[in-house]
């Protein structure tokens, strides 16, 4: 993955075309959320793409917390700080904040290690639906609105116990869905291994809206449609 292929940088101003953001979502993350379809009315840049650009630019700290504050549209420029201090905030010319990263501890600076970790996380994150979320919703007997599915990526955290990474691999450690009325918070915890040794842990949190009683047939249709989008894209991209 060459992350520079998926964004445009003019001085310190960062922006993304719809094509760049959509290609990253589908080709790298395996994320076929309609929000990332070129030409979509509600198109937004994947949060994982913003996060990946920051990791590539500033490195990976041993302790990182990321908050996704808003949905970034294509061709909207956000300013990149010259360097990462304790906190980096991405915002546009109107001071609208889209992402905030708080980092501390030592820093991984090896480009190959950063690229490997970034790709591992993004591909893990892209498997959230349907691989992880559907089973989680089934367990809680709740599901998202099939006509207006709402899944918002809110925050993530990463803790490393070393900066010496070679070939990191992420594995799912635990999942939970806390339901309150028609909303729920899904938490995915993961472990990070390198050379079969546990070197870190983290979690990803999402808000699910419009929840209703789980229906196997309806969810099956949603998953079937999602799988079809994947197959169609692979055919075009082949």
pLDDT confidence of residue 237? 58
Vertex 68: Cα angle to 63 and 72 (nearest 5):
135
Beta carbons of 237 and 156 less than 8 angstroms apart: no
| pTM strictly above 0.85 | yes
Tokens matching residue 198:
């546990």
Beta strands in 109-168 (DSSP E): 142-143, 150-160
> How far apart are the two ends of the chain, measured CA to CA in Å?
17
pLDDT confidence of residue 82? 81
3-state helix, strand, coil in the chain (%, to 5): 35, 35, 30
pLDDT confidence of residue 236? 63
Decide the pairing of beta strands 13-15 and 8-10: antiparallel
pLDDT confidence of residue 217? 97
CATH architecture of 3-237: Roll (3.10)
Cross-strand partners of 204: 156, 188
pLDDT confidence of residue 238? 46
What residue ranges do the domains of the chain occupy?
A: 3-237
**What does the alpha-carbon distance between residue 37 and residue 143 come to, in Å, rounded to a whole number?**
23
Q: DSSP code of 11?
A: T
**What does the alpha-carbon distance between residue 197 and residue 208 come to, in Å, rounded to a whole number?**
33
Spans of the chain below 70 pLDDT: 236-238
Those residues with Cβ within 8 angstroms of residue 78's Cβ, 6 or more apart along the chain or in another chain: 13, 14, 15, 72, 90, 91, 92, 98
């Amino acid at each position: 993955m060459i992350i520079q292929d998926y964004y445009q940088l003019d001085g310190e101003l960062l922006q993304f075309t719809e094509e760049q953001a959509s290609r990253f979502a589908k080709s790298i993350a395996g994320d076929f959320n309609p929000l990332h379809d070129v030409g979509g009315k509600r198109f937004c840049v994947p949060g994982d793409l913003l996060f990946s650009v920051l990791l590539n630019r500033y490195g990976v700290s041993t302790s990182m917390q990321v908050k996704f504050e808003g949905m970034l549209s294509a061709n909207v420029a956000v300013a990149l700080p010259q360097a990462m201090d304790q906190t980096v905030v991405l915002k546009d010319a109107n001071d609208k904040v889209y992402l905030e990263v708080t980092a501390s501890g030592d820093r991984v600076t090896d480009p190959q290690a950063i690229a490997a970790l970034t790709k591992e996380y993004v591909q893990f994150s892209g498997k959230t639906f349907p691989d992880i979320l559907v089973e989680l919703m089934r367990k809680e007997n709740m599901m998202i609105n099939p006509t207006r599915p709402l899944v918002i990526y809110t925050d993530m955290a990463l803790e490393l116990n070393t900066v010496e990474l070679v070939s990191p691999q992420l594995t799912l450690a635990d999942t939970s869905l806390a339901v309150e009325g028609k909303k729920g918070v899904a938490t995915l915890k993961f472990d990070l291994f390198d050379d079969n040794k546990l070197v870190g842990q983290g979690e990803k949190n999402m808000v699910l809206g419009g929840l209703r009683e789980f229906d196997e047939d309806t969810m099956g249709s949603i998953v079937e449609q999602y799988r079809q989008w994947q197959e169609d894209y692979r055919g075009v991209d082949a």
